[in-house]
Structure 1
């Protein structure tokens, strides 16, 4: 079952909507699904629904609400892709982490579910890394996170498990950035990195031209196993 819910910001002076999918029985745990630059579109909602089918409560907050509430873009349409890039350039990821923290607090207070993980894609992959470093989230997963190499100094603050999926042919995260991530994180006791040889950015999207079926299934299975282990 799915619905839209309203969550207050940490300051309490604003609120944002979130897509909310519930399992049929008692939730195993909760998972925050963090959007790409395309908003809480059909692909992100489908990821929530799939987690609910696996027994998790899933929440996808509308992180672009300050710029354009309810945004839904299709990355396979050039004008919409370019609009998403423009919004990404204007977006403050520090706001995003605070809004994810507000979502964690809302889940624990309003649903009674204590164990909370997050999984993010693209911008959301970066935010998953930042959430692992800046909040008490229980477990985090990032797919093709952008600009993580520019904030590796935050890795020392990561206290709970973090999994990062890195496609080696990512045209937004080049070889130097990938190398820096491995050098900084391979020996971190809380961080696991998986490379996907020859795959590009967006390979695990639910819909559209970017998806690589085999790669998506491998990465998603690893994510499922990771959450099963760390969210109980």
Structure 2
């Protein structure tokens, strides 16, 4: 994995590997790009590069660095897919939130960029919801986040804007889970939900067969406008 930066943890017990893409000139804001379960792979690095091209400081931390740093796994290889699932199941999400807080602090204090957004995919979509509820992030976006229906008890803590992209044919987030998400969040003043009829999990992936070009462009356009409004 092409990480190029090490970010200190909050308690100083280690450093978080991260891929950082820098814009030309002064950043208009910063975007944390949260990986799927497959690592900071070429697709996640492309997303970071694209945000940098739009004028943002982009930071993609290695979520599983405490387990096995530097993984890049394929969703199309069954053994690698199962390995990625294993990493997610073993991941300490509460400790991972402290790592995200460390990245936010590093961006604001060490890089001098005050406004910070967060965008995550799959597992990262779940983390986007957690970030909105548990940190002082300026705005967050989740694509096809998993297990959000199980965390609706935290919705009262969401005080900054959150956008969720929900493909209706997501084979990891069934219709009952989607219904619960809508019932729990449709009336939340800080949350915006978008459904993508007939699309499946991973429709906005940058590489591979999962991508739906029209759906990805629609969702990404909404995300870009959202961050332009709330981050810079």
Q: Same fold (TM over 0.5)?
A: yes
Q: Which moved more, 1:44-53 or 1:71-80?
A: 71-80
**Alignment-derived partner of residue 219 in structure 2:** 219
Are 1:192 and 2:184 an aligned pair? no
**Cα offset, 1:78, TM superposition:** 2.1
Count of residue pairs brought into register by the alignment: 231
**Alignment-derived partner of residue 61 in structure 2:** 61
Given that 2:3 and 2:17 are in contact with CA atoms closer than 8 Å, whether structure 1 keeps it comes out as: no
Q: Distance in 1 between matches of 2:115 and 2:229?
A: 12
Structure 2 residues not aligned, in runs of 5+? none
Q: Distance in 2 between matches of 1:86 and 1:155?
A: 28
Change (3 A) 1:82 1:3: closer
Q: Distance in 1 between matches of 2:197 and 2:97?
A: 30
CA-to-aligned-CA distance 1:31-65 (integer Å, 9 cap, x gap): 00001000111110000000001110000001100
**Alignment-derived partner of residue 140 in structure 2:** 140
Q: Which moved more, 1:133-142 or 1:69-78?
A: 69-78
Q: Which moved more, 1:163-172 or 1:85-94?
A: 85-94
CA-to-aligned-CA distance 1:53-104 (integer Å, 9 cap, x gap): 1110000001100110011112122221121111111112112211111100
Q: TM-score, normalised by structure 2?
A: 0.97
Q: Distance in 1 between matches of 2:143 and 2:108?
A: 25
Change (3 A) 1:3 1:36: closer
| Matched position secondary structure for 2:107 | helix
**Alignment-derived partner of residue 155 in structure 1:** 155
**Alignment-derived partner of residue 49 in structure 1:** 49
Q: Which moved more, 1:54-63 or 1:95-104?
A: 95-104
Are 1:10 and 2:10 an aligned pair? yes
Q: Distance in 2 between matches of 1:222 and 1:103?
A: 24
Are 1:83 and 2:83 an aligned pair? yes
Given that 1:7 and 1:102 are in contact with CA atoms closer than 8 Å, whether structure 2 keeps it comes out as: yes
Are 1:167 and 2:167 an aligned pair? yes
**Alignment-derived partner of residue 178 in structure 1:** 178
Q: Distance in 2 between matches of 1:124 and 1:67?
A: 17
Q: Distance in 2 between matches of 1:120 and 1:27?
A: 20
Q: Distance in 2 between matches of 1:89 and 1:227?
A: 30
Given that 1:16 and 1:62 are in contact with CA atoms closer than 8 Å, whether structure 2 keeps it comes out as: yes
Q: TM-score, normalised by structure 1?
A: 0.97
| Matched position secondary structure for 1:47 | helix
Structure 1 residues not aligned, in runs of 5+? none
